[in-house]
Amino acid sequence: MSNGLPQQNASAPSSFRLIATLAGVAIMSGFLVATTHQLTMEPILQNRRAALEKAVFEVLPEASERRNFRIDEAGLQPLPDDALARANVFAGYDEEGRLTGVALEGSARGYQDVVKILYGYVPETEKVTGMTVLQSSETPGLGDRVETDPDFLANFHALEAGLNEAGTGLAHEIVTVKHGEKEHPWQIDAISGATVTCKAIGEAINNSAAGKLPILQKHLHKLQKASPEEGGGTL
């Protein structure tokens, strides 16, 4: 006989069972994400390594061999070949073992995201002699023209990056100017419609060069006397 009170549905799941189920799903999802990350991490790193090595020889076309170095406030230190990810200076050598130039990384904020580049630099002439984009999310058809436009890339055939008399910084700041307004060899002539991305590349080179080139020139002998035993890769 009913007492007038609503009866509890005996088949309804308890709060404990709901929490346990959600916890199980969360644990399984986390496990799958971690497993996927582990399985894909090595191929991703290998692809990045291959892309970086290719870029080094693009900006140092006269080089047939690469060796890794790391530059910081403490100076310049050689690194083994398997420490490519830790390197921020890549020295290029010809078949006779002569230094042809170095490749250095730089980055700056573009229109949508950070633009990461690699540029070639010849210590003997103190000039930037090549540039390639390593990472960019700029607008297709506009910002990505910096990777293909021949007139823009011509800026980096002999871009001046000389040091001041004290050797503590650049003699002239590397800057990007509006298209058609370039007057000095340390200026970059921008692409019309892609000025923001062009300025990011100029800022990336300027900041990298101002911080690294004084140290690089001071320890240049370490690059010129790099021994065959030190890590490196060939083209």
Sketch the domain layout of the chain as residue ranges: 41-234
Residue 8, CB half-sphere, CA atoms under 13 Å: how many? 4
- pLDDT band for 113, please (50, 70, 90 cuts): confident
Least confident of 32-36, 122-126, 127-131, 194-198: 32-36
Q: What is the mean pLDDT of residues 21-32?
A: 79
Cβ-defined contacts of 224-230 (< 8 Å, 24+): 224/99, 226/67, 226/78, 226/91, 226/93, 228/97, 230/67, 230/78, 230/80
Confidence of residue 208 (pLDDT cuts 50, 70, 90): very high
137-154 in b/e form (b: 16+ CB < 10 A) is ebbeebbbbbeeeeebee
- Quote the pTM value: 0.76
Distance, in Å, from the CA atom of 131 to the CA atom of 139, rounded to the nearest integer, reads: 19
Tell the residue number behind the tokens 């929490």, with chain if given: 19
155-201 pLDDT, tens per residue?
A: 999 999 999 999 999 999 999 999 999 999 999 999 988 888 999 99
Average pLDDT over residues 14-43: 72
More confident residue, 185 or 30: 185
Specify the range with the lowest mean pLDDT, choosing from 27-41, 90-104, 174-188, 202-216: 27-41
For residues 180 and 24, the model is more confident at: 180
Rounded to an integer, the average pLDDT of 72-91 is 88
107: how many CB neighbours lie within 10 A of its CB? Answer: 17
pLDDT at 228: 46
What's the pLDDT score for residue 9?
55
Q: Is the Cβ–Cβ distance between 74 and 177 less than 8 Å?
A: no
- Neighbouring residues of 214: CB distance < 8 A, sequence distance ≥ 6: 163, 167, 168, 169
* Tens digit of each residue's pLDDT (9 = 90 or more) over 69-78: 999 888 899 9
Closest by alpha carbon to 149, among 132, 172, 135, 173? 132
> 231 pLDDT exceeds 80?
no
- Locus of tokens 């830790």: 86
